[in-house]
Structure 1
Amino acid sequence: MTHLKHSPMVAQATRIAAGDDRTQYDSFSILLHWITVILVLAQFGLAQTWGFAPKPTRHLMIVSHMSFGILLSAVLIVRIGWRLLPGHESPAAAVGWIERAAKGVHYLLYALLVSEAVLGFVLRWSGNESMSFFGLLIPSPFAPTDKATHHAIGEAHDFIGWTIIVIAAGHAAAALFHHFVLRDDVLKRMLPGKAGDA
């Protein structure tokens, strides 16, 4: 463990995995981050367990999955819009390859989350079914696809979902490693109430 603490390569690799580009975020950005985490975990948990539930419960879980998916889509739109507005984050004074690589992890997760959200809508609509937002039906704006295309969309949706979870798990593990082993402020910068902390 001591060797790990003093290994610059381990510190650099885990900083990148944690997405630590040394940016300071405001409290609203931090709140949106944790809302995203909760919704992603809820979505994944529902998708992996509804197959074991009886039909009435399964239907409720699927409707909840769609509703949370729409909420997640809205949160992503707000997060991206908020990041594009100036004044909500303070980048590091000096930016090197580690910071650029760490920011790349953020962009990758954003791209995967947006792709997953879009595929969720397309999957439902391609099967000639409406999306449901807590009982409010949103009909498909296009004609249903053939079964092969619908199946391929479903496979892509599942694959990206698992990819998000694997990358996010590595992201979280790296942040925890920095917090509990290296004892630095990588995780603290994204904790509620820590906005602007050095």
Structure 2
Amino acid sequence: MQRYTKIAIALHWLIALLIIAAFFLGVTMVDIPGFTPTKLKYFSWHKWLGVTVLGLAAIRLLWRLRNKPPAALPMPRWQHLAAEGMHHLLYLLMFAVPVSGYLYSYAAGVPVVYLGLFQMPAVIGPDPALKPVLKTVHYVLTMTMAGAVLAHALAAIKHHFIDRDATLKRMLP
């Protein structure tokens, strides 16, 4: 059985865990009423997770471009095309979701200070007209990612338990 490289596996699972954490933290923080220290702390953590995902996604993409993944396992053509499309979508969203959140934060006039230590460059200034647009874009992209991650996980589970092939095993640590 051909497996993914150890680095590809580590990046896959680390990014997956960070995306899931950022999602649940985001859902939690927006439900906190008012402007509280806890809500502010959660927003900071959410941004840190987003910046980290963006950086790790860049490393992962570079790794993927330089290290070919194992050959696809035998499966119907439609499944292969669906898997390939899903992987492209997930890679796109690993960049688009954090970038949209980053832009939204700056349009809202709130800087992104990574780990509370490094202020990230402001690529746009505060923009009250752009803020609600970017908020919506970030939300829609996030929900799209949640659906894509769920579909990806369900497909892996289907391959493991129903098809009984090595799809999931090739990506397990």
| Bin for the TM-score computed over the shorter chain | 0.7 to 0.9
In the alignment, the residues of structure 2 paired with residue 183 and residue 93 of structure 1 have an alpha-carbon distance, to the nearest angstrom, of 12
In the alignment, the residues of structure 1 paired with residue 28 and residue 82 of structure 2 have an alpha-carbon distance, to the nearest angstrom, of 35
Partner of 1:38: 17
Q: How many positions carry a matched residue from both structures?
A: 169
In the alignment, the residues of structure 1 paired with residue 81 and residue 3 of structure 2 have an alpha-carbon distance, to the nearest angstrom, of 15
More deviation, 176-185/33-42? 176-185
Q: Which contiguous aligned blocks of 4+ residues in structure 1 show a shift greater than 3 angstroms?
A: 51-54, 92-98
State the 1:33 CA deviation. Answer: 0.4
In the alignment, the residues of structure 1 paired with residue 100 and residue 151 of structure 2 have an alpha-carbon distance, to the nearest angstrom, of 23
- Structure 2 counterparts to residues 165-176 of structure 1, below 5 A: 165-176=146-157
Q: Which has the higher contact order (CA 8 A, sep 6+)?
A: 1
In the alignment, the residues of structure 1 paired with residue 74 and residue 24 of structure 2 have an alpha-carbon distance, to the nearest angstrom, of 39
Partner of 2:7: 28
Larger CA Rg, structure 1 vs 2: 1
Q: Are 1:90 and 2:70 an aligned pair?
A: yes
Partner of 2:123: 141
Select which of 43, 51, 59 maps to 2:30.
51
State the 1:66 CA deviation. Answer: 0.6
Q: Tell whether the 8 Å contact from 1:23 to 1:92 is kept in structure 2 after alignment.
A: no
Distance change >3 Å, CA 52–CA 102, structure 1 → 2: closer
Distance change >3 Å, CA 25–CA 123, structure 1 → 2: same
In the alignment, the residues of structure 2 paired with residue 105 and residue 93 of structure 1 have an alpha-carbon distance, to the nearest angstrom, of 16
TM-score by length of structure 1 reads 0.77
In the alignment, the residues of structure 2 paired with residue 111 and residue 173 of structure 1 have an alpha-carbon distance, to the nearest angstrom, of 20
Partner of 2:97: 116
SS of residue paired to 1:175: helix
Structure 2 alignment gaps of length 5 or more? none
SS of residue paired to 1:91: coil
In the alignment, the residues of structure 2 paired with residue 51 and residue 120 of structure 1 have an alpha-carbon distance, to the nearest angstrom, of 13
Partner of 1:12: none
In the alignment, the residues of structure 2 paired with residue 130 and residue 48 of structure 1 have an alpha-carbon distance, to the nearest angstrom, of 20
